[in-house]
Copies of this chain bind each other. A is one copy, B any other.
Amino acid sequence: MGKKVAGVLGATGSVGQRFILLLADHPDFELKVLGASSRSAGKKYVDAVNWKQTDLLPEFAKSIIVSECTADAFKDCDVVFSGLDADYAGPIEKEFKEHGLAVISNAKNYRREEDVPLIVPITNPEHLDLVNANLVKAKQEGKPRPGFIICISNCSTAGLVAPLKPLVEKFGPISLLTTTTLQAISGAGFSPGVPSIDILDNIIPYIGGEEDKIEWETKKILGALSQDKSQINLLSDDEIKVSAQCNRVAVSDGHTECISLKFKNQPAPSVEEVKQCLRDYVCDAAKLGCHSAPKQTIHVLEQNDRPQPRLDRTRDNGYGVSVGRVREDPVLDFKMVVLSHNTVIGAAGAGILIAEILLAKNII
């Protein structure tokens, strides 16, 4: 078996549990190390975790002894997936990187570093060339193989940018962009996450930090790698203005976003051209033959009441994004509804697909 060795940081948490599910029976990776807090370290995983997934805890993971989150414990890992809470991720992920480890993190801590790729794997895998360039350079300079951190984007950013990328590639820059999100509760984790009294027969029209993340991350993900591949250049406020309004709603999984956009180049394309562009898009991960890559990256739905979270969130196992109601917008050029699976393409699943791309590109 030539499987790569994988580890998971924050293994008992919500994101960590999903990493484990996605790595069970994975053709490319073998999960060997599970790291969690001192409270859990030393215990069998089955005894340390409060498993809250709809799929059963995989047999292979039950008896793994939970490690402390130290680089030493993960030293044999070809790739480490981090589901650590932002409160803890900072120093741990940094230590891992300094010890030459490859970290793919769901935490927000390093997303804004200019030399850290912020990746939606169906959207901007080309930003991973920054990592590759670093590896090549170190090799050329005879230095030891450097570690690196790759950040998974915020969940609601992922759903937003996925349909934008093909549009920008075909029709040129988007100058104005608004999104109003209706976000699932699973995005808030479960310890305790959103209290039920706040979500039953209710809407919370605020998610701390979320609007700022969407507005900022979009500019990085749609930005370009610098000529020397050493950093990601953000789109400027002159190039694109982004406005987000975020709501938490009574949905378990799947973020719905009502978006509007205006192209820089006018006249704008037709509704049918926009839809055709989305339908035709094949993400690089699919071209590379990655195991988890969606067969259809963007599903364009024609029924007027779709996409709906309950019915459409699991398209392509949650790696495909659904777009519906593409129509002209009296204020900007177009409006449409985008649905993405927040715990798959918006979190743990994105990490797995990033690793598959790294493998396909021989970066790990």
Question: Which A residues are within 8 Å of any B CB, using their own CB?
Answer: 52-54, 56, 176-178, 180, 182, 185-186, 190-206, 215, 237, 241-243, 245, 247, 249-252, 256, 258, 260, 304-311, 314-315, 324-325, 329-332, 335, 337
Say how far A334's CB is from chain B's closest CB, in angstroms.
10
**Quick one: closest B residue to A176, CB to CB?**
B331
Q: Given the complex, which residues of B lie within 8 Å of A191, measured CB to CB?
A: 195
- Copies held by the complex: 4
Say how far A155's CB is from chain B's closest CB, in angstroms.
15
Contact status of A205 and B324, CB under 8 A, knowing A178-B331, A195-B193: yes
Could you tell me if B206 and A304 are in contact, using CB atoms closer than 8 angstroms?
A: yes
Contact status of A310 and B54, CB under 8 A, knowing A185-B200, A249-B203: yes
Q: Given the complex, which residues of B lie within 8 Å of A206, measured CB to CB?
A: 304-306, 325
Say how far A31's CB is from chain B's closest CB, in angstroms.
22
Say how far A340's CB is from chain B's closest CB, in angstroms.
13
**Quick one: closest B residue to A186, CB to CB?**
B197
Could you tell me if B308 and A204 are in contact, using CB atoms closer than 8 angstroms?
A: yes
**Quick one: closest B residue to A249, CB to CB?**
B249
User: Quick one: which of B205, B250, B304, B329 contacts A200, CB cutoff 8 A?
Assistant: B250
Give 16 A-B contacts (CB < 8 Å), ordered by A residue: A180-B245, A182-B203, A192-B192, A196-B200, A201-B252, A202-B308, A203-B251, A203-B309, A205-B308, A205-B324, A206-B325, A241-B330, A243-B329, A243-B335, A245-B335, A247-B258
Say how far A319's CB is from chain B's closest CB, in angstroms.
15
Say how far A324's CB is from chain B's closest CB, in angstroms.
7
Q: Roughly how many angstroms separate A314 CA and B53 CA in the complex, as a whole number?
A: 12
User: What are the 4 closest A-B residue pairs judged by CB atoms, nearest first?
Assistant: A180-B180, A192-B192, A245-B258, A206-B305
Q: Roughly how many angstroms separate A186 CA and B324 CA in the complex, as a whole number?
A: 25
Could you tell me if A258 and B185 are in contact, using CB atoms closer than 8 angstroms?
A: no
Say how far A5's CB is from chain B's closest CB, in angstroms.
30
**Quick one: closest B residue to A189, CB to CB?**
B197
Q: Given the complex, which residues of B lie within 8 Å of A201, measured CB to CB?
A: 200-201, 250-252, 309-310
Q: Roughly how many angstroms separate A215 CA and B327 CA in the complex, as a whole number?
A: 15
Q: Roughly how many angstroms separate A258 CA and B190 CA in the complex, as a whole number?
A: 26
Q: Roughly how many angstroms separate A329 CA and B176 CA in the complex, as a whole number?
A: 12
**Quick one: closest B residue to A306, CB to CB?**
B205
Could you tell me if A195 and B196 are in contact, using CB atoms closer than 8 angstroms?
A: yes
Could you tell me if A178 and B249 are in contact, using CB atoms closer than 8 angstroms?
A: no
Could you tell me if B247 and A256 are in contact, using CB atoms closer than 8 angstroms?
A: yes
Say how far A297's CB is from chain B's closest CB, in angstroms.
16
**Quick one: closest B residue to A299, CB to CB?**
B56
Q: Roughly how many angstroms separate A176 CA and B258 CA in the complex, as a whole number?
A: 17
Say how far A264's CB is from chain B's closest CB, in angstroms.
14
